[in-house]
Amino acid sequence: RLRLHDGKLIKDRRYHLRTYPNCFVAKELTDWLIDHKEAPDRETGIRLMQKLMDHYIIHHVCDEHSDYKDAKLLYRFRKDDGTFPLTKDVKVFMRGQSLYEKLVSVDESILKVREENSVKYQRTFLGCEMIDWLVQEGEAENRKEAVELGRALLEHGIIQHVSNRHHFFDSDVLYQFWINFRRRRRLTELLNENSSRTLSESPDSPFCLRKLNPEPGSTSFLSVQTNKEIKIVSAVRRSSITSLAGNSNPYFSPAPTLVFPPVAECNPKSVLKRPVTNEELLSPGAPYIKKTLTIVGDAVGWGFVVRGGRPCHIQAVDPGGPAAAAGMKVCQFVFSVNGMYVLHLDYQTISSLIMTGPRTLVMEVMEATE
């Protein structure tokens, strides 16, 4: 957007006796993308601009077109007309970017290269250092507010503990900025992003229970519970179990309707005895221990079901599958997936993370010591 302003592609334009401020011509922008090596061809340029439309970054000046047309039509960045939606996620991201720019531009910055366990990390800081700085600079009124800000930045993937083992605390624990806001990003990176909606509906979901004692023509999976209510779920090989849990309630959902005949009843009730919050899991002295599991998926799946959200928990484990062999148990809470902190995410998002990751899955789980 800023480059287009500098290049005078974004300017006030007159059409049918009306002036449209701060807009660009779609066809001219497609030419610009190719000339500046942001897109190899017009088709890619159109796909890139459609991505920006889908993310509410640009729109047609009269909102008469919901898609991006490579024609002499006027479009505008929503930041230029005040219609850009400032959601909580966007606000946290912009706050993180602002803090990062402020930190890297000052002398004696707390962001330094530091070493922990013989590993060097870039853009690091101590939790207590960040709290001091936020209060001193007026970014937070007190230490409690500063901790809340630090936790929001961590939960949105902007900062993280260097080995991804802790939430944000006012202590001498080492953290780093996970995002380098000054890295020049190319527009084509947008096309590498995967839609979580598409992933959650994929027939190749990792959250399937392995077939137990498979027989030719059999399509039954067993839903493994901790109680005696074990019932048959009709499904197909490597089918998505996450689709069975499409209710917004993280702990209970109505009985799902399966799309594969014959349909059989399944037990939707959560295996948790009671709801557990992130604060309870992470509070000092809480009766939970963390374990690291390395699960190598086989041709059928990983052999477990995850449900709920914020935090997610293990709903079922196939006793003959890779997850059980790695030590996974029902009622464990999913702390991290392949090094990413996920206590704040729902099961659909965690499904996306696993599906876009390697077949060898490294998960940190928390379980009660009782």
- Asked whether residue 184 carries a pLDDT value surpassing 90, the answer given is no
- Asked whether residue 202 carries a pLDDT value surpassing 60, the answer given is no
Who has greater pLDDT, 215 or 298? 298
Residue 193: its pLDDT value, please? Answer: 61
Least confident window among 85-94, 112-121, 186-195, 242-251: 242-251
- Asked whether residue 363 carries a pLDDT value surpassing 70, the answer given is yes
Who has greater pLDDT, 316 or 221? 316
228 vs 232: CA distance, rounded Å: 13
Q: What is the largest CA-CA distance in the chain?
A: 75
Q: Count other Cβ atoms within 10 Å, centred on residue 67.
A: 10
Least confident window among 185-194, 299-308, 352-361: 185-194
Residue 196: its pLDDT value, please? Answer: 41
103 vs 161: CA distance, rounded Å: 18
- Asked whether residue 220 carries a pLDDT value surpassing 50, the answer given is no
Average pLDDT over residues 190-209: 49
Q: What is the mean pLDDT of the chain?
A: 78
Average pLDDT over residues 93-97: 90
pLDDT > 70: percent of the chain: 79
Question: What are the φ and ψ backbone dihedral angles of 297, each rounded to 5 degrees?
Answer: -65, 150
Residue with tokens 């048959």: 232
Give CA angle at 142 (136, 143), nearest 5°: 90
Average pLDDT over residues 11-36: 93
Least confident window among 21-30, 171-180, 265-274: 265-274
Least confident window among 139-143, 171-175, 355-359: 355-359
Residue 354: its pLDDT value, please? Answer: 82
Q: Are 268 and 257 in contact (CB under 8 A)?
A: no
What domains appear along the chain, each with residue ranges and CATH number? 1-77 (1.10.10.10), 88-177 (1.10.10.10), 278-368 (2.30.42.10)
Element (H, E) at 102: helix 88-104
Q: What is the pLDDT of residues 267-320, one digit of tens each?
A: 447 888 888 998 889 888 889 999 999 998 877 778 888 888 889 999 888 888
- Give residue 140's pLDDT band: very low, low, confident or very high (50, 70, 90): very high
Highest mean pLDDT: which range of 192-201, 233-242, 351-360: 351-360
- Asked whether residue 192 carries a pLDDT value surpassing 60, the answer given is yes
DSSP state of 346: B
pTM for this structure? 0.48
Helix, strand and coil content of the chain, in percent to the nearest 5, comes to: 30, 25, 50
